[in-house]
Amino acid sequence: MLVINARQVRELLPMKEAIEADKKAFLLHSAGQTEVPVRLGFDIPGRGSVLFMPAYVKGDVGSVGVKIVSVFPGNLAKGMTSVPAQVLLVDCETGVVNALMDGSEVTRVRTGAISGAATDILARYDASVGALFGTGGQAPAQLEAMLCARTLKEVRIFDLLPERIAPFIESNGELAEKYGAKLVAARSSDEAVDSADVITTVTTAKTPVFDGTRVKLGAHVNGVGSFLPTSRELDEKLLSRARVFVDNREAVLAEAGDFLIPAAGGAYDLNAIAGEIGDVLAGKLAGRTSDDEITVLKTVGFAVLDVVAARTIYENAVATGAGSEIDL
C-alpha cells in the first residue's frame, strides 16, 4: 500500500490537473458511471463525529474509494486539526487497498478545482476581475483555481473579519504574481462584487454574503462554502437573475440552504435549476447562452470527486516513485 502525505498530494495533483480530474468526475457522473451511497456518520457523544463517504467510479478510472472525515472541535486544544481526513483507494482489479492519502489535502485541491472547472466552462473568456469571499483554509485553492481558469488581472479579497484580509493577501502574493494577477483588499461586499467577472464564495456564513442585485451582467459565481440546509452564501435575488447549475443535484437539494431556504419561503423555484455541470460537459445541456447571462455553480461536493482525484494522485505517484510503500 502506498502512503501519500499532504505535501506529496500537493505535488502530485497541481491545480490544472485537478481541474481536469474534476471535469472527468463530472462526466462520469453524468454518464451514470458512478455509484455514490449516502454518507454514513457516527456521533461520538461529547467529542465529535466521524463520516464515511464512499464512491464507486466505473469506466477507465475503475476505482472504489472512501473518504473518512472526522469533526472533533476539541482537537484544537490538543494542537491538532479539528477536521482530520484520509482517503483510501481500492484497486478494482484485485480488491486491494493500494493507497492511503491525506484526505484534507485531497479535499482542498479537488474543491478548489470544482470552481476552476465551473469557471472554465461557464465564465466569459474575457473575464479579467475576480472577487473572493473568505480567507480560510480553502481560500488559497479557490484563488488558484480562479487564476488557472481565467486570465484575471485583479482579484478582490473580502472577509467579514477584515483583519484577516491583509495577511491572506501577503501570504498569497507569490501565487498571484505567478499568474500575473494583483490581490486587492475590498472594504465591503459591494466593493468586492461591483464589476467583478468571476465571484467565488468560500465562507462559513449563515446568511448571504453579498447583494445579488449588484452582480454585473455576464458574471459567473461559484458558491462553495455553505453545505447545510440552514446556511447560505447566495441570495434569491442572484438566483432569480442567473442560469444556475449544480455539481450533484441530489446532494445539493438535500444539503444546500442556498436553495432550500428561499424555496421554503416561496422565493425560489427549485425547478429553475438548469441542471448538473456534468451534463454541460457531456453536451446534454447548454451552458452559458449569452455574454450578458449571469451563471452560477453551486457545489456541496461528493465522493466521486475524491475518488477520481485520488486515482490521479496514485497514478502520478507510481509514475514518479513518490510516496512510501508499506506492507500490512
Q: What is the pLDDT of residue 76?
A: 78
pLDDT tens digits along 75-133: 878 888 878 899 999 998 899 999 999 999 999 999 999 999 999 999 999 999 999 99
Query: Could you check whether 2-106+304-325 and 117-301 share the same CATH topology?
Result: no
**CA angle at residue 93 from 91 to 99, to 5 degrees?**
15
Torsion of CA 181, 183, 186, 192, to 10 degrees: 30
Give tens-digit pLDDT for 227-263: 888 999 999 999 999 999 999 999 899 989 999 999 9
Determine whether domain 117-301 maps to CATH 3.40.50.720.
yes
Cα–Cα dist 256/254, whole Å = 6
**Pairing relationship of beta strands 275-276 and 242-246 according to DSSP bridges:** parallel
- Encode pLDDT of 131-187 as tens digits: 999 998 899 999 999 999 999 999 999 999 999 999 999 999 999 999 999 999 999
* Mean pLDDT, range 61-68, rounded to an integer: 92
- Give pLDDT tens digits for 286-302: 999 999 999 999 999 89
Instruction: Indicate the domain borders of the chain.
Output: 2-106+304-325, 117-301
Determine the topology of domain 2-106+304-325 in CATH: ornithine cyclodeaminase, domain 1 (3.30.1780)
Instruction: Say if CB 233 and CB 208 are below 8 A apart.
Output: yes
